[in-house]
Structure 1
Amino acid sequence: MTAPRSAEEQRRTEWAAALEEMEVEVLDAERSIRGDRADEIAAWGRRMEDWTPPTMLGPLPPDLRERAARLLQHQLAVAEELVERITQSQRQRDVAARMAYRPRPVAAFVDRAL
């Protein structure tokens, strides 16, 4: 039979799980960017909910602070790249839309020899 875990051990386990979930999400976003999948990239830009830490976790355990700081830097870098790619995609769509709907000139040949 296992001994009951202390509240501190329980908090550390829950925070580790929360960090793992966030790491998976940022890696998913990064894979969308690297895979050059425009629809997935745009979907990341349409997400409206911001992550808020669960209130029942309590303070971040000291031994997880470095991991959380690295994760934050990774999230910020991926978010910046997502914004750049979304902006680039919107510009490309705008150009494509203007090109697709603009009337194309009709070739006219005039015989000047007459």
Structure 2
Amino acid sequence: MSPGRPGPGNGDPAREWATVLDELEGEVLAAEAVLRADRDDEIAAWGGRAEDWIPPATLGPVPADLRERAAHLLQHQLAVAEELAERIIRSRRQRDVAARMSYGPTRPVASFVDRSL
């Protein structure tokens, strides 16, 4: 949690969950922005972030009035995660193809000699 924002267990559960959802949404939007920027190195870095998010135990269940927002956010997260995975796989395939092309054995080059008979 950021300074100045309510921490888990410090007040209204709906407000605390709203803050948590805001932060999660910010992460999803940041990942989406990286995808739109179309820079493979940044996309690969996002793919390396493998920590699962676990809600603090003191938060309790998502309040009923925030469940729909949380469900939409989850769907958005899953869509962005799927696109990240696809882009990482595509980038690795392109890198592998480029590596094979660059370092593969060279083919013999035809030589033509013009000699008068």
User: What TM-score results when the alignment is normalised by the length of structure 2?
Assistant: 0.83
Q: Distance in 1 between matches of 2:41 and 2:98?
A: 16
Q: Distance in 1 between matches of 2:85 and 2:37?
A: 16
Q: Distance in 2 between matches of 1:61 and 1:53?
A: 13
Out of 70, 73, 84, the residue aligned to residue 72 of structure 2 is 70
Q: CA deviation at 1:104?
A: 2.6
| Runs of at least 5 residues in structure 1 that lack an aligned partner in the other structure | 1-6
Q: CA deviation at 1:50?
A: 0.6
Identity over aligned pairs, percent? 63
For residue 78 of structure 1, give the secondary structure of its aligned residue in structure 2: helix
Alignment match, 1:96? 98
Q: Distance in 2 between matches of 1:49 and 1:25?
A: 13
Q: Distance in 1 between matches of 2:97 and 2:33?
A: 26
Query: RMSD of the TM alignment (CA)?
Result: 1.7
Letter in 2 for 1:82: L
Letter in 2 for 1:102: G
Matched, 1:38 2:37: no
Q: Distance in 1 between matches of 2:95 and 2:21?
A: 36
Q: CA deviation at 1:34?
A: 0.9
Aligned pairs (5 A) from 1:74-85 = 74-85=76-87
| Runs of at least 5 residues in structure 2 that lack an aligned partner in the other structure | 1-8
Q: CA deviation at 1:65?
A: 0.6
Number of residues of Structure 1 aligned to a counterpart in Structure 2: 107
Letter in 2 for 1:93: R
Q: CA deviation at 1:52?
A: 0.6
Aligned pairs (5 A) from 1:3-14 = 10-14=12-16
Q: Which has the higher helix share?
A: 1
Letter in 1 for 2:106: R
Q: CA deviation at 1:112?
A: 6.6
For residue 110 of structure 1, give the secondary structure of its aligned residue in structure 2: coil
Alignment match, 1:18? 20
Letter in 2 for 1:68: A
